[in-house]
Structure 1
């Protein structure tokens, strides 16, 4: 059964850069592979090398917070670009701070911080179609 059709990219703007990382964070992936986000919401972007089957997400690098400019649906596997640069793919969502914000977990080979990849406020953020 096919569940997903075409969709538009979700866009945002980086509003705060984060510079820290942790090896003991203890995040947990939500069971849902997608989340709807609304224009004006602010969500946290977090990198990790953990996989979807890991019960705890401990190794993380914090990128920053993005304000959603164009709402839509973010799915596991969507590519994430910040300032036009590929950052990784959406692994899933941690809701420990919800309803204030989601932690949007981004999978890559090794966690990085916003400082390590030279992010700046007002950089465009794009959650694209799964590649």
Structure 2
């Protein structure tokens, strides 16, 4: 993210509506070239963890863990580098987006130490989900 161009923004909050339990080693997702996506209240998007770090457009994302689907509670902008919180737990940062199912939903790819699933984290429907802007680095 270019902090010289991007100003402050609000967090995007929502609710987990479905928990997913599976992981894949050869998923073949493709990273969108966009570093941010606007989301609308009421949309549902899939949350996917990965240990991949490459943010180049079209980067192949294979090792993934599926967390679940979240309903967006307030419109906003989700940026690469935003933190994903479920309840009081920080799960990782937004790596980017895969649009293989769009316009139905985006796969929001969350960079984490290792791919984890909803089962691994004992997630439950109705848990709060928040995409929070990462803090600016200290000068």
TM bracket (short chain): over 0.9
Distance (whole Å) between structure 1 residues aligned to residue 59 and residue 91 of structure 2: 23
What is residue 36 of structure 2 aligned with on the other side? 34
Partners in 2 of 1:16 and 1:84 — Cα distance?
18
Residue equivalent to 2:51: 49
TM-score norm. by structure 2 comes to: 0.91
Equivalent residues in 2 for 1:1-131, closer than 5 Å: 2-51=4-53, 52-53=55-56, 55-131=59-135
Structure 1: 5+ residue runs without aligned partners? none
SS at match of 1:70: coil
Superposition deviation, residue 83 in structure 1: 1.4
User: What is the CA RMSD across the aligned residues, in angstroms?
Assistant: 1.2
| Alpha-carbon displacement from aligned partner over 1:95-122 (angstroms, at most 9, x marks no partner) | 0000000000000110000010110000
The number of aligned residues is 131
In the alignment, structure 2 segments of 5+ residues that lack a partner are none
Shift of 1:55: 2.1
Deviations, residues 37-70 of structure 1 (Å, cap 9, x unaligned): 0000000000000012482100000000000001
The runs of 4+ residues in structure 1 deviating greater than 3 Å are none
Q: TM-score, normalised by structure 1?
A: 0.97
